[in-house]
A and B are shown apart, each in its own frame.
Chain A
Amino acid sequence: MASADKPINTDVPEKDVFTLHFLQSLSNLRRQNTFNSPEKTNDRVKKIKKAAYVSMARAAGGTNRLWSRALLRRAAKENSKVVRFPRRKKRVTCLRRRRSNRRDPVEEEEAERLRNLVPGGGGMETSKLMEETAHYIKCLSMQVKVMQCLVDGLAPK
């Protein structure tokens, strides 16, 4: 028998938490690098983008969310840092058992595309994927708002 769902929890913290994390990451960046090299704007853009994503992942619930975990792991791999996550229960074995159930040919293509978009989507079942997508969308929109505010503030026209 399938188990019933508890109410789906997609709470996202407030804007200021995002702001705080983002500003922290930016100040870290500033301390690390010199911004006087105009030809390396591409690098700078990439760094800022990565900092944005990582701070978003950290602000939006740390390692409690699958997508944030995957994001942080991906970022840490690029830095070749060892990241330690608190081990949850054995998800992987459950997934292997459920994989036979997952086939639903019409939805699977769409789910495949979603999986490519949302970080960490490769190992998730479809229902879990949708939950993560909802949370991811909320966090992304929050991050966009924060960045928009910053850009407007720093370069008002």
Chain B
Amino acid sequence: MDLTGEFEARSYGGGATREATRLESLHLGDEFRQLALPPENAGGFTALLELPPTQAVNLLRFTDSPSSSSQAAAVTGISPPPLHSYGTLTFPSDSVLMDRAARFSTEHHQNGNVSGTSSLPSNSSVKTEPAETDSSQAVNNRSGKRKDSDKKAKSWTKKNKSSEENENLPYVHVRARRGQATDSHSLAERARREKINARMKLLQELVPGCDKKVFDLQIQGTALVLDEIINHVQSLQRQVEMLSMRLASVNPRIDFNLDTILASENGSLMDGSFNGTAMQVVWPHQVTETEQSYHHRQLQQPQQWPFDGLNQRAWGKEEDQDHGQ
């Protein structure tokens, strides 16, 4: 639970305390305060996003008053009646919190609340962006503090978790390991190296014969893997060359009447003449299957349906004759 709490703190660009995170989710607008609460950990942000527009409009109507104090009072005054429409909601009865929320709500209200529900998600996103840029520096400071307190194994797992969870965010929150510098250059360097390692893993899965190598984070391992990859690419290119030589020697035999085949496939008009032209070409079994699947996929685009039965029969005949040959 502690880790999830930290995750929320980081993802909302929150401050150091739980209260601050709640506050930041709160300062998205005091009209959302009421909805920020039932999933207290999840925070007002996600509740905001799940908010159906009709309810948001209702909330907006309640906050159309000019001054902040009256606004807060109005909200608190009006809040009990709509509460029952949202089910059982708890409400922070802290006066301190409400003061702070009122203060933030004026600031939010001055941002322009006029455009209606469509502006609501954008406002929240605007709020989280500066919050996140603040947090990036906060993370640096925090990581500087934490690197002394964490043990190496613990920080490694946390770093893993943060790198996994942060795949979807525009900023990567990187946790410094013990004894490593935290200036921006080395951080960028480390992020870049992680990117390269991730892609290296991808390549390792592709290239056969790389699986048995050591799962590496060292430079020594990557050199071997890269050698393997280069060998594989070279061998593939050589194979293409050899096959093209073979094709060149075989080629005069081909009686390609591809034009008619392709035209008929695109026009989706299958006559009986289709059979005649296709028969002259000796197709291997796999190629007919793949072309068949391709044809079927193309035919499923809504063209003339009565021809479909004819097509299938035609392909079936072709395959039988192919088997016979």
CB of A68 within 8 Å of the partner chain = no
Main secondary structure of the interface of B (DSSP, over half): helix
Main secondary structure of the interface of A (DSSP, over half): helix
Contact: B222 with A107, CB < 8 Å? yes
CB of A70 within 8 Å of the partner chain = no
- Please give, as numbers and ranges, the residues of chain A lying within 8 Å of B114 by CB-CB distance: none
CA distance A19 to B187 in the complex (A): 46
Q: Which of A14, A27, A36, A101 contacts B189 (CB 8 A)?
A: A101
- Please give, as numbers and ranges, the residues of chain A lying within 8 Å of B191 by CB-CB distance: 1-2
Contact: A143 with B206, CB < 8 Å? no
- In B240-261, which residues have CB < 8 Å from any A CB? 240-241, 243-254, 256, 258-259
CB of B202 within 8 Å of the partner chain = yes
Contact: B233 with A140, CB < 8 Å? yes
Size category, B interface? 35 or more
Contact: A154 with B290, CB < 8 Å? no
Q: Which of B206, B241, B258, B284 contacts A27 (CB 8 A)?
A: B258
- Please give, as numbers and ranges, the residues of chain B lying within 8 Å of A36 by CB-CB distance: 252
Give 9 nearest A-B pairs by CB, closest first: A153-B284, A16-B294, A2-B191, A110-B226, A130-B199, A147-B243, A16-B290, A140-B236, A27-B258
Contact: A127 with B245, CB < 8 Å? no
Contact: A41 with B244, CB < 8 Å? no
CB of A95 within 8 Å of the partner chain = no
- Please give, as numbers and ranges, the residues of chain A lying within 8 Å of B226 by CB-CB distance: 107, 110-111, 113-114
Q: Which of B37-45, B166-174, B272-280 binds A?
A: B166-174
A98 to chain B, nearest CB (A): 9
Can you add 5 more A-B contacts, CB < 8 Å, to A24-B258, A106-B219, A155-B246? A15-B290, A23-B256, A141-B236, A143-B240, A154-B254
CA distance A17 to B244 in the complex (A): 19
Q: Which of B169, B223, B250, B293 contacts A154 (CB 8 A)?
A: B250
